[in-house]
Amino acid sequence: MKILEALHGVDLILHCGDLECIGVLDYLEEVAPLLAVRGYEDPLEDGDRLALTTRVVQIEGVSIGMIHDIQWPGPKIPTTPDGSGLILPDDNGREVMARKFKEPVDVVLFGDTHEEIIMDWDGVMIMNPGSPTYPGKRHKRGALGTIGLLEINGEESSGHIINLEAH
């Protein structure tokens, strides 16, 4: 399967919700260790692998905030009407994200819109990897979508989107 091929060799999988079933996590864990946050309709499970709303993961010198919907919990950061962008408040991005995650973060990963995006807001990388199985409106209906790869080297991070149809 193209999704698993694209994930081959990663050290950790971070999933930002809309699982629909716990089996997705089990399947992905066959590739690499996994941490996730719940989407609105996602099931619950005991243990540390699936957090309720938010979580912060430390990898090397990078603090990664994970959330399903970047709008909630507050402070609210609305998406554009088509979901392909964010409407950033006139505040400092680092401070807004520190309030949202209750600690400073260098990277924010979110899901919900299924629209891929990578942007910088006052030194915080914000990334939505899209969705491999339920891609956003910019993708052909029935096609595979996207995943994101986050590379960390010490205190540096970079992200890029992989289009599974082109992979």
Identify the top-confidence range among 20-29, 30-39, 77-86, 127-136. Answer: 30-39
In this prediction, residues 93-105 reach a mean pLDDT of 96
The pTM of the whole model exceeds 0.85? yes
Tell which residue, 71, 121, 120, 80, has the closest CA to residue 100.
71
Q: Please, which pLDDT band fits residue 107 given cuts at 50, 70 and 90?
A: very high
Residue 130 pairs with which residues in a beta bridge?
A: none
**Average confidence score pLDDT of the chain:** 93
Q: What is the CA angle 146-135-64, rounded to 5?
A: 55
Q: How far apart are CA 15 and CA 17, in angstroms?
A: 6
Q: What is the pLDDT of residue 142?
A: 84
> Which residue ranges form the domains of the chain, and what is each CATH number?
2-163 (3.60.21.10)
- Other CB atoms closer than 10 Å to residue 9's CB: what's the count? 8
Tokens of 126: 């914000």
In 3-state terms, what secondary structure has residue 50? strand
Q: Which of 148, 95, 82, 96 is nearest to 117 (CA)?
A: 148
Surface-to-core class of residue 150, CB atoms within 10 Å of its CB (0-12 exposed, 13-18 middle, 19+ buried): buried
Residues above pLDDT 90, as percent of the chain: 72
Residue 1 has pLDDT above 80, yes or no: no
| Burial class of 39 by CB neighbour count within 10 A (0 to 12, 13 to 18, 19+) | middle
Place of tokens 């990388």: 125
Name residues whose C-beta falls within 8 Å of residue 27's C-beta, 6 or more positions apart in sequence. Answer: none
Lowest mean pLDDT among 1-15, 48-62, 72-86, 119-133: 72-86
